[in-house]
């Protein structure tokens, strides 16, 4: 958030009340959380290969082990084809591992009987919203997932209203999804998942097709959702989206190569350069200043850079 200092309000659109949004936060999710010590998703020695007729299977994920805690904000970064989307699909139970185990809330994704519960707990939002819409009206599109779960009508109505409020789409309730702007389409895709009331939201490059302002406002929305207790896993190429997360994992050619807090990850500059990933802009400036011999540490945001400046001044 710090990275967009000029974006004063939560949203660039009218009619969205940020205060109302935050005050609703504690009572809105119909979820019971596990104790903090218990990982919510466990990935153990996961291998996944795509089967291609008359060819060797193509390995997409190689020996990945990972734990995701309830309420965590995790970022997965890596190049196109590094296996990010495949990992997301494995975690949400849409793909079954070739080898190894994935379990959600202690339920193994291999068991077909667990599918429904797993998908209801882990909501995956795919990249291109255009190909995901089933309904001709926004509110029915939002309801689709919850309808599948057999949620009774009055509770369904509440969930849809809440999801529309969470994503700032109340005004578009009766619109045709197809006619929305790109930014609103992404929000709608997320609203459709929120109505399922998952404990974890996985976003597969949801910001990749958006302009910078829509992207920034979507990110603010994600942080609000996170604050309300939702675990979020975001897949992205944009390094500036990673700074505010709890933890980052870097994938390269299907392997998990770096893992840690954003700070820890961005300190491994040589490693990142090897993979061909850049630092966020402030990090790049700081790196340049360090190579000139200035001891300013590893700031990633403008605030941290200012702080580094002030500490330097009073040394």
Partner 1 sequence: MIDAVVRIQHLAHTYLAGTPLAAQALIDASLTVLHGSVTAVVGPNGAGKSTLLHFINALVRPASDDQVQVLGLDTHTPSLDIGVLRRRVGLVMQYPQQQLFERFVGDDIAFGPRQEGLQGEALRKRVFEAMEVVGLNPLTFIDRHTFSLSGGEMRRVALAGVLAMQPELLILDEVTTGLDPRGRKQVHELLRNLRDRGITVVFASNDMDEVLEIADHMAVLYQGRTVAEDIPTVLFNSMQSGQWGLLPPAAMRIRQGLVQAGIPLPPGISSLSGLEEALWQVWRD
Partner 2 sequence: MASLEGLRHVSIGQYLPTGSFVHRLDARLKLAACVALLAALLLARGYLVNIALLIAIIGLVTAARLPLSYLLASLKPALPFIVILTVMQLLFYGRGTGGSAVWVEWGSLVISAEGVQLVVVSLIRFIGLLLCVSLLTNTTTSSALTHGVEWWLRPLTAIGLPGHELALVLAIALRFLPILGEELEAIGQAQASRTITTGTVSRWHFMAGARRIANLIVPLFVSTLRRADELALAMQARCYQGGKGRTQLNPSNWRTADTFAALVAVAVLAVVIILRHFPIP
Q: Verify binding: residue 181, partner 1, rule CB under 8 A.
A: yes
Name residues contacting partner 1, limited to 62-101 (CB under 8 A).
Answer: 79-81
Q: Which does 1 bind (CB under 5 to 8 A by kind): partner 1, partner 2, none?
A: none
CB of residue 48 vs partner 2: minimum separation in angstroms? Answer: 15
Q: Verify binding: residue 209, partner 2, rule CB under 8 A.
A: no
Residue choice 152, 270, 276, 313 for contact with partner 2 (CB under 8 A): 152
Residue choice 7, 25, 62, 94 for contact with partner 2 (CB under 8 A): 94
Nearest-5° Cα angle at 101, 100 to 105: 170
The rounded distance, in Å, linking the Cα atoms of 265 and 95 is 28
Q: 69 is written with which tokens?
A: 């805690």
Q: Verify binding: residue 208, partner 1, rule CB under 8 A.
A: yes
Site map 95..134 versus partner 2, x via CB under 8 A: --------------------xx--xx--xxxx-x-xxx-x
Residue choice 79, 157, 173, 287 for contact with partner 2 (CB under 8 A): 157
**Which spans of this chain sit near partner 2 (rule: CB under 8 A)?**
89, 92, 94, 115-116, 119-120, 123-126, 128, 130-132, 134-137, 139-140, 143-153, 156-157, 160, 174, 176, 178, 192-193, 196
């Amino acid at each position: 958030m710090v990275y967009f200092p000029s974006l004063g309000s939560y949203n660039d659109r009218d009619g969205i009340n940020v205060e109302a949004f935050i005050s609703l936060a504690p009572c809105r999710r119909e979820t019971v959380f596990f104790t903090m010590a218990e990982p919510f998703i466990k990935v153990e020695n996961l291998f996944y290969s795509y089967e291609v007729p008359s060819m060797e299977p193509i390995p997409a994920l190689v020996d990945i082990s990972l734990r995701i805690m309830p309420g965590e904000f995790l970022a997965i970064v890596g190049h196109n084809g590094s296996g990010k989307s495949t990992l997301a699909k494995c975690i949400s139970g849409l793909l079954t591992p070739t080898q190894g185990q994935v379990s959600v809330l202690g339920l193994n994704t291999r068991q077909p009987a667990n599918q429904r519960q797993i998908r209801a707990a882990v909501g995956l939002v795919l990249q291109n919203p255009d190909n995901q819409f089933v309904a001709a009206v926004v509110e029915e599109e939002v309801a689709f997932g919850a309808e599948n779960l057999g949620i009774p009508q009055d509770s369904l109505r509440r969930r849809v209203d809440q999801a529309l409020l969470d994503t700032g789409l109340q005004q578009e309730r009766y619109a045709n999804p197809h006619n929305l702007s790109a930014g609103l389409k992404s929000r709608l895709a997320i609203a459709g998942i929120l109505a399922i009331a998952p404990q974890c939201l996985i976003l597969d490059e949801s910001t990749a097709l958006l302009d910078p302002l829509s992207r920034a406002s979507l990110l603010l929305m994600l942080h609000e959702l996170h604050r309300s207790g939702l675990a979020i896993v975001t897949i992205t190429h944009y390094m500036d989206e990673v700074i505010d997360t709890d933890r980052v994992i870097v994938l390269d050619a299907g392997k998990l190569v770096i893992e840690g807090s954003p700070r820890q990850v961005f300190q491994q500059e040589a490693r990142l350069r090897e993979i061909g990933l850049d630092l966020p802009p402030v990090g790049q400036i700081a790196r340049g200043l360090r190579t000139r011999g200035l001891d300013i540490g590893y700031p990633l945001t403008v605030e941290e850079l200012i702080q580094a400046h002030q500490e330097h001044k009073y040394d």
